[in-house]
Amino acid sequence: MKRFLFIVMLLVFLTPSSDVQADVSPPLFPPGSNPEPGAEVTQVRMVAETVLIDVKKDINPESLGSARVTADFTMRNLGTVDESIAVRFPIAANDGWGNYPEIGNLLIMVNGNQVQYRRASYPEIRYMDQDAPWAEFDVAFPVGRDVSIRVAYDLAGSGYYPGTAFYYILYSGEAWKGTIGSADIILRLPYEANPQNVIMNLQIGWAETTPGGVFQGNEVRWRFEDFEPGEKQSARVMEFALIAPSAWQAALTARANAEQNPNDGEGWGILARAYKQVFLLAKAYREDAGGQELYQLSVEAYEKCLSLKSDDAQWHAGFADLLARHSYWDWSTSGATPETIRALNEIHTALELAPDDPVVQEIALNMTYLIPYGMTQNGSNFDFPWLTQIPASPSPTLTVASAPDSTATPEPILTDTPQANLAPTTPTPVPQTASPICGSAAFLPLMVMLWLAWKRK
């Protein structure tokens, strides 16, 4: 028995740990939801529903944004007896931190007429372990006649900036008779919707956009037909993972300014930084197709910026930061790559231009953690072993279109500030060889010692 237990412990310690990206979940605001009948049994069917999540324009810095949700339902009594049901709708939910924020500006209409609702207490929509506030209102359902119900309200975004997410629960409609005939779910943005600002096929930590959406102008549309919302996960909860409207609007504004002033290097730098901000995640980068497009756009904008402002140390450092982070989180490679060498060259140039600049210094220090063997700190200076030991891959030739204005004083707000871009994501230094070893292997000597002690005993 002792030998069996020892073997089990040894296998546990030596099993490689999985590469899991887990973060503390952010507080989640109440999701939208289908209404449900108060009666346990009803002959009323939800024939059709159309749900519009209309994301509002927002330019407030660090804002997660909000949306106006308008949900229209067509209900039909398939039975032989008229029914009068207390229909209910959740207006608050546990945010995961023990708080119960509520949706705002609730409006309920039945057959085109606004109706009043009363507050009631029922089990919380997601966790079901505690009661939460619901809106409840009475609706008459005559036999064989369609009844329209509209529920509209304001929904707050959830997550970590510059990402945000909205949710809509469909499974609360499964208590109606039979299946739901059809459901059209529409996400509408205040600008063109595309895979760069709607994150598809990627879990961002607290949300993953429901697959199957079709882009049409400013909208993404999903359609379900004759479905039971409790059967499949995709037909239970709709999730919409987005770039926060304020962050995307900043990128749109920067792009318009750069296009209108193509010889303004500072404008191209601002655009590069805006793209970088919506490309990076809290502890990784966006690997989806839209994210990779943003990375290339950021690289191109930095190159254009530095072709016009070749002696601007902070933009060189900002470019190095982008390249280093992309290289650091690329788990498919290890050691020096053309991208890491280019990052080292950019920060080396920045340090030569402005060795005492605090922004350059902080980015350089961060890079000693991102590229621990390619760049090291030596007192107040930095060494670059990979630049001296490994031939650097040549960077694209940069042509200076116009001489920089040596008298101009750069505005700090227009440069890559470490407070905005570095502090939240500075990784803990982890030494790494060319062939990384699982940390659990450190337990092997300990287990050998325990085995020998057991045998001796």
**Per-residue model confidence as pLDDT tens digits over 162-196:** 999 999 999 888 899 999 999 999 999 999 999 99
Cα–Cα distance for residue pair 377/382, rounded to 1 Å: 4
CATH number of this structure's domain 32-243: 2.60.40.3680
pTM over 0.85: no
Give 261-425's CATH code, choosing from 1.10.20, 1.25.40, 3.30.70, 3.30.420. 1.25.40
Query: Could you give phi then psi for residue 145, rounded to 5 degrees?
Result: -115, 140
Higher pLDDT, 416 or 327: 327
pLDDT recorded at residue 18:
31
Higher pLDDT, 387 or 404: 387
Name the least confident of 36-45, 204-213, 408-417: 408-417
Cα–Cα distance for residue pair 166/158, rounded to 1 Å: 7
Arithmetic mean of pLDDT, 269-296: 94
Indicate the angle between helix axes 313-328 and 289-308, nearest 10 degrees: 160
pLDDT recorded at residue 229:
81
Judge whether residue 266 has pLDDT over 60. Answer: yes
pLDDT recorded at residue 119:
95
Q: What is the DSSP string of 278-332?
A: HHB-SSSB--SHHHHHHHHHHHHHHHHHHHH-TT-HHHHHHHHHHHHHHHHT-TT
The chain-wide mean pLDDT, for the chain, equals 82
pLDDT recorded at residue 397:
34
Judge whether residue 394 has pLDDT over 50. Answer: no
pLDDT band at 295 (very low <50, low <70, confident <90, very high): very high
Name the least confident of 81-90, 429-438, 442-451: 429-438
Judge whether residue 291 has pLDDT over 70. Answer: yes
With pLDDT > 90 as the criterion, what percentage of the chain qualifies? 64
pLDDT recorded at residue 39:
77
pLDDT recorded at residue 20:
30
With pLDDT > 70 as the criterion, what percentage of the chain qualifies? 77
Q: Is 447 exposed, middle or buried (0-12, 13-18, 19+ CB in 10 A)?
A: middle
Which residues make up the CATH 2.60.40.3680 domain(s) of the chain?
A: 32-243
Name the least confident of 117-121, 428-432, 446-450: 428-432
Higher pLDDT, 74 or 409: 74
**Per-residue model confidence as pLDDT tens digits over 317-353:** 999 999 999 998 875 556 788 999 999 999 999 999 9
| 111 Cβ contact partners less than 8 Å away, ≥ 6 residues apart | 147, 148
Which residues make up the CATH 1.25.40 domain(s) of the chain?
A: 261-425
Judge whether residue 114 has pLDDT over 90. Answer: yes
pLDDT recorded at residue 281:
85
Arithmetic mean of pLDDT, 419-423: 36
Residue that the structure tokens 């008229």 belong to: 82
The residue among 189, 183, 190 whose CA lies nearest residue 212 is 183
pLDDT recorded at residue 12:
32
Which DSSP helix (H) or strand (E) runs through 89?
Answer: strand 83-90
pLDDT recorded at residue 38:
86
Judge whether residue 212 has pLDDT over 70. Answer: yes
pLDDT band at 233 (very low <50, low <70, confident <90, very high): low
- Cα 209 from chain centre: 10
Arithmetic mean of pLDDT, 256-274: 98
Which DSSP helix (H) or strand (E) runs through 153?
Answer: strand 146-156
Judge whether residue 76 has pLDDT over 50. Answer: yes
pLDDT recorded at residue 389:
67
- Do residues 162 and 207 make contact, with C-beta atoms less than 8 angstroms apart? no
Judge whether residue 101 has pLDDT over 50. Answer: yes
Judge whether residue 361 has pLDDT over 60. Answer: yes
